[in-house]
Each structure stands twice: as C-alpha cells, then as structure tokens.
Amino acid sequence: MGKLKLKSGDNVVVTAGDHRGSEGKILRIVREKNKAIVEGVNMVKKHEKPSAANPQGGITEKEALMHISNLSIVDPTTGTGTRVGYRMEDGKKVRFSKKSDQAI
C-alpha cells in the first residue's frame, strides 16, 4: 500500500464507473482496502431488521465504499479533477494541484 493523497473532508469528483462525474465530500477512508465513502455517491439500498435504534426496520439507503483510484480531488480554481503533488512551503509540507499549481 502506498501513500494516500486524499483525506477525509476533501471534495472529490468520480472519474470512472457508473457514478462518473459525480462530486461529493469524503466522509471516511478505509486505508486497509484503499477505499473511501463519498457523500451522496454510490448509494445502495440496505435491508435492515427492526432494532432498538430503528424499530420499524425496512429498506434504508447509504453510501457504499469506492476505490480511491476512481476519485480525483477537485481543483480549487477550475472546479474539475486534478492530480495532487507535495512541496515544502515555509518549512511545511503542503499538497498542491498539478493543474493550477495552487495549494489545496
């Protein structure tokens, strides 16, 4: 497993698959599987048994995991997907957009 260039809270765009073009915020990253959950993207229906938290039970919709290779961080200036690089600025390591050369 290599270094992940995405973090929780990043705005990303989906670059491949059924949800290509969708945008959302990363809610959670699962490092062991190289996958992430993106808000409002890759929704699946889940059948739930009645429980104390959900006494009615029924069918609920929730976000499913997506592989991070299908995600690209949104460039702050153009609003499209971009690759991420790292550089030192004032003694701190910062991420920057390869498209606009601006810090993220």
Q: Are 4 and 68 in contact (CB under 8 A)?
A: yes
Residue type, 1: M
Q: Which residues pair with 71 in a beta bridge?
A: 14
**Cα distance between residue 69 and residue 76, in whole Å:** 20
Query: How far is 8 from 1, CA to CA, in rounded Å?
Result: 18
* pLDDT of the residue at 34: 94
What is the residue extent of each domain of the chain?
Answer: 11-73
pLDDT of res. 54 = 87
- Taking the C-alpha atoms of residue 51 and residue 31, their distance in angstroms, rounded to an integer, is 30
Q: Is 32 helix (H, G, I), strand (E, B) or coil?
A: helix
pLDDT tens per residue, range 23-57: 999 999 999 999 999 999 999 999 999 999 889 98
CATH class (in words) of the domain with range 11-73? mainly beta
* Alpha-carbon span 21 to 15, nearest angstrom: 6
- pTM metric for this prediction: 0.84
Mean pLDDT calculated for residue range 12-20: 94
- How does strand 11-14 pair with strand 23-30? antiparallel
Q: What pLDDT, on the 0 to 100 scale, is given for residue 1? A: 62
Reported as a single tens digit per residue, the pLDDT across 50-95 is 999 889 989 999 999 999 999 999 998 888 999 999 999 999 999 9
